[in-house]
Amino acid sequence: MERSVVTIERHILEAERQFPEATGALSNILYDLALAAKLITREVRRAGLVDIIGKTGAVNVHGDQVKKLDEYADEVIFRALDHCGHLCVMASEESEGLLHIPGEFRTGNYCLLYDPLDGSSNIDANISVGTIFSIHRKVSAGPAGTLEDCLQPGSRQVAAGYVLYGSSTMLVYTTGNGVHGFTLDPSIGEFILSHPWMRIPSPGQRIFSANEGNFVNWSSRQQNLLNHLKGLDGVSQNPFSARYVGSMVADVHRTLLYGGLFMYPGEKQNPKGKLRLLYEASPMAMLIEQAGGRATDGERPILDVQPTDLHEKTPLFLGSLEYMDLVDRFLPPSDESLEAVPMSAS
């Protein structure tokens, strides 16, 4: 063997030992998230069969109703963590309001925000999907968590990560001490450390990742950036490659491994774009910055944005440092208003 086999449990435990004051609460939350990821993996792997099972009466072998995968993932995460005693409240992209800890369980000092199955519109096409999570320390008074605990800027996250249900399942997380990736070995049901100390390559591969179908609705500066990346402005003779899965976890994971630029800018009809600050942008920004890259909303670091609403959206640009410099150059602060975008005839 070339190097030791390290499970996620062992890795989390060893990281915790470096902080004698640690209570183990954060470690326990991460273990429980890893358990939820295994349960979701099991269902995602059977996704193509769900319709077949569903047709026989929409009841699975355990007698439970067969649920849509995103609803299943949402419930599994809540139920894996509601009783751990370390959370004061949760919030999910799938639910409008706060998810309170049921009265029969103890509450704790952390708050969990999650997107249970991001990119779920891809699931029927057997394309990778993912789970994204973000953890904050409780800041409100009293035992129960409140909106105040959830509406904290990304810079105050104590941990963030994602699970990619791809050709293999990977869990990638940070607690502010580097980014570490684990691959699920399905034969033993363990996440094994496969990508320690992940760093976004710099200079990274020349890849841009965006839904170019929205080009007509972008600001002219955003359009200029794209034209530059494609070598259409006559400045660059070396165009970027385009890669866009349409599942953020997969697109960000590739960006983390290969470098490049991922963006979901604002549009004329949706000046804040599509992605959610708390469930998608902030956790990914923490990971990317911990890996040596940068993430902004086109003007400011995502991690500095003070949320005002659980489901607020934000434009998002993230990737390798040198390509983020291009974003700064093409989209300087005080970009023209999106209202000024010239709309071409449809």
Look at the block and give the residue holding tokens 């010239």: 342
Residue selected from 118, 267, 289, 297 as contacting ligand AHM according to rule CB under 6 A: 118
Q: Is 345 exposed, middle or buried (0-12, 13-18, 19+ CB in 10 A)?
A: exposed
- Token couple for 134: 């973000």
Q: Residue 286 Cβ, how far from ligand AHM at the closest point, in Å?
A: 17
Rounded distance, CA 72 to CA 39, Å? 10
Query: Helix or strand or coil: residue 65?
Result: strand
Q: Residue 294 Cβ, how far from ligand AHM at the closest point, in Å?
A: 18
Distances 14 to 8, 11, 136, 230, 313 between C-alpha atoms, Å = 10, 5, 21, 45, 36
282: contact with ligand AHM by CB under 6 A: no
Residue selected from 60, 155, 202, 211 as contacting ligand AHM according to rule CB under 6 A: 211
118: contact with Mg ion by CB under 5 A: yes
For the question of residue 280 being annotated catalytic, the response is yes
Residue selected from 69, 101, 112, 248 as contacting ligand AHM according to rule CB under 6 A: 248
257: contact with ligand AHM by CB under 6 A: no
Rounded distance, CA 207 to CA 174, Å? 24
Task: Give the active site residue among 16, 32, 74, 115.
Answer: 115
95: contact with ligand AHM by CB under 6 A: no
Residue selected from 27, 92, 107, 120 as contacting ligand AHM according to rule CB under 6 A: 120
Measured from the CB atom, the residue of 74 and 118 that comes closer to Mg ion is 118
Rounded distance, CA 255 to CA 250, Å? 9
119: contact with ligand AHM by CB under 6 A: yes
Q: Own/partner pairs for 57-65, CB < 8 Å, 24+ apart? A: none
Q: Which residues bind ligand AHM (CB under 6 A)?
A: 93, 115, 118-120, 211, 246-248, 264, 274
**Residues that are catalytic:** 64, 70, 93-94, 115, 117-118, 280
